[in-house]
Structure 1
Amino acid sequence: MFVITLRFADKTKAPQFMDGHNAWIRQGFEDGVFLLVGSLQPNAGGAIIAHGASQQEIEARVQADPFVAEGVVSAEILAIAPGRTDDRLAFLKA
């Protein structure tokens, strides 16, 4: 499981690449890799919970985000090995 943070580096460029970024998010959900996407508050960027891919696959996916590629955000990928979960999230331990 991965937690990915996307912190704004140059927010002024965001509108120019928003359509591509939204398409990238949509693809992450369609591929079954993204479980949750949301905003970092207050207006600091975004965060993603991802699952079902290797570290290398996640790194490549993140680099393909137009926001990352164009310097709108800086990305950090945290790998988490779940040890204990609520029963509703037991699939994350697989």
Structure 2
Amino acid sequence: MFVITLRFADKARAPQFMDAHKAWIGRGFDDGVFLLAGSLQPNAGGTILAHNASPEAIAARVQDDLFVAEGVVSAEILAVTPGRTDDRLAFLKA
């Protein structure tokens, strides 16, 4: 499982790439890789919870986001090995 943080580096340019960024997020959900996407508060960027992919595939996917490629955000990918989950999230331990 991966926690991906996208922290604004050049927020003023975000509107220019927002449609492409939203489409990128949509592809992540359509591909079954993204489980959650949301905003970092207060208005600091975003976070994505991802699974079902190798670290290399996650890194490549993150580089495909125009927000990352154009320097709108800086990305950090944290690999997490779930040790304990609520029963509703047990699939994350697989």
TM-score of the superposition, structure 2-length normalised?
0.99
**Residue identity matched to 1:69:** A
Relative to the length of structure 1, the TM-score reads 0.99
Name segments (4+ residues, structure 1) moved above 2 Å: none
Aligned to 2:93: 93
Q: SS at the partner of 2:6?
A: strand
1:43 maps to 2:43: yes
Residue 68 of structure 2 is matched in structure 1 by 68
- Unpaired segments of 5 or more residues in structure 2? none
- In structure 1, list runs of 5 or more residues that go unmatched: none
What count of residue pairs does the alignment treat as equivalent? 94
Cα separation, 2, equivalents of 1:82 and 1:66: 30
Q: Equivalents in 1 of 2:79, 2:4: separation in Å?
A: 9
Q: Give the C-alpha shift of residue 79 in structure 1.
A: 0.1
